A and B are shown apart, each in its own frame.
Chain A
Amino acid sequence: MITNNKGAAGPAVAFRDVVKVYHPDIKALDHVTFDIQPGETVALLGPNGAGKSTAIDTMLGLRAPTSGEVRILGGSPAAAVAAGQIGGMLQTGGLPEGAQVSELIGLFRQLYRDRRSTTELLTLAGIADLADRRVEKLSGGQTQRVRFALALAGNPELLFLDEPTAALDVEARRHFWRSVETTAGQGTTVLFATHYLEEADANATRIIVVNHGRIIADGTPAQIKAFTATRTLRFSTPVPDPSELLKLPGVTDVVVNGDAVTVRTSDADGTLPALYALGRQIKAMEVGGGGLEEALIALTSADNSPVMEGVA
């Protein structure tokens, strides 16, 4: 089968039952299946070590899956790379010493057969002032932006960004996501990995949450955020009354087992005061997260995070 052109039918990415094992006991990807449709902007969200980079590396053809199938634009990752249909910004990536930024961009434009003008690339990446700069004189954030320009050089059908904003300051981040949006608006399908829920929420049309090599949630940002608000309250109270508990604000589910009660709520802050206001004797209260907590507990807000230099 020949690779699809922009807008052609079929998923941009088909990830089928993919397993990647590095060590016999470490499954970086554990039977992962998902499709990405052309035109989507998808966030792969999860803590460090969740399997995001491994997933992206297999889509770029940098790693072969242990089992399962990865199809990119209807063909193999290698075919899509060779055809220049993919742009990739990897998590770590130095630039070759001795080169000027403008030379690097010139090289990539030629490798991708002049699909985007130099001016457009410099503007999108926000590096017009760095064109004459030597690579070894760039800061971590500047290097990151140059690498973004290289990933865009081929006006790719599919753009992969692995933790692309790690070294960027707030202003550079804003510019970066605006450019991603512009690119997506021109028809590029985007997949980015992040461990910031807010970044995924603000910039993706769909979020896939991964942890321990598995997909634990897949939905729109609104759906994912609703999931994350879910809390589980566990306590004991004499002769619990499920119908009474179900009327409390935010409660979606009540399980009673003798004196032991498990309540699921989408609004723990509203539920708890109302529960205590019932005047019941409540003992051994435990507040736990919803199904996503384990994955998301390690996720931090993009705006609170320190600006990191270099490798994240």
Chain B
Amino acid sequence: MAAFLRFEIMRSLRNVRFLVFIAGFPVLLYLIYAKQTGTSQGLTVAAILMVSMAVWSGMGSAMFATGPQLAKERQNGWMRQLRVSPISAPRWFTAKLAQGLLLIIPGFILLILLGFGYGHVHLAAGRVAMLAAVILLGVIPFCALGLVIGLMFDGQTAQVAQMLTLLVLAFLGGIFIPYSNLPHVMQEIANVLPSYHLVQLGWNAVAGRALGIRHMLALAAWTVALGLVAVWRWRQESTTA
């Protein structure tokens, strides 16, 4: 499994689109917007945006490990080749999860460095560690979401589905637009989205507030629900395909 994980990480790091997505895009947005002044609930704009972008980068990399890549490899037959090799489905799943989580790290470190260096964010080491833990555990439902997309859609369609899903989650979840600025109807929607709960956890961690059990439960529920859909699709495919 370690061999498989290393192999998957190596080829992800060669994927330009992926690197742009987890690092380029959030960094660019941060450079553009972090210099705005102002505070909200005790956090500077630079700190708020550092968390938003870290969450956005984390969501993207978690979904990338599976998502469109999986869809493509199901379609081109690579998944069938793996299924006749000795790697078992549970070990494959575990490696994919680990891949999604490990690949968060570069984007996360980059944004923390930018936040500190460029955004003048001052944060105790304990709070940075808390943020790291929150994002690492909090993107697990997004790994499951990527799996669902990769197993439900084919190649090109999966690409589009993944982008749309990410953008909808980011806008409605209050990552690009502050939650308080959203119209009431959208706030109602945001309340059920995993992106909303993850970014709230992130801000709470940075502000040193209580994390909020409600957010954790919501993310756990998403993980279970999406995980069940993924397992169901996986089984369906391995018995009929």
A interface residues with partner B (beta carbon < 8 Å): 60-64, 81-84, 86-88, 90, 92-99, 103-104, 106-108, 110-112, 147, 150, 154, 160
Contacts and interface: CB of A to CB of B under 8 A. Distances in A.
B7 A94 contact: no
A81 B85 CA distance: 6
Nearest to B12: A98
Given A82-B88, A84-B85, A107-B3, 19 more contacts: A61-B84, A62-B83, A62-B241, A81-B83, A86-B84, A87-B84, A90-B77, A90-B81, A92-B77, A93-B76, A94-B73, A94-B78, A97-B11, A97-B15, A97-B69, A110-B3, A112-B86, A150-B81, A160-B84
A99 B10 contact: yes
B36 interface: no
A111 B77 contact: no
Given A60-B84, A62-B83, A99-B11, A93 B3 contact: no
Contact residues of B: prevailing secondary structure: helix
A84 B85 CA distance: 7
B11 A98 contact: yes
B87 interface: yes
B241 to A, nearest CB: 7
B14 interface: yes
Of the four ranges (under 10, 10 to 19, 20 to 34, 35 or more), the interface on chain B belongs to 20 to 34
B81 A147 contact: yes
B188 to A, nearest CB: 40
B75 to A, nearest CB: 8
A62 B80 contact: yes
A111 B85 contact: yes
Nearest to A94: B76
B166 to A, nearest CB: 20
Given A64-B239, A82-B86, A98-B14, A111 B3 contact: yes
Given A64-B239, A98-B12, A90 B7 contact: no
A99 B10 CA distance: 8
Interface in B65-105: 69, 72-73, 76-78, 80-81, 83-88
Contacts of B80: 62, 90, 93
Contacts of A94: 73, 76-78
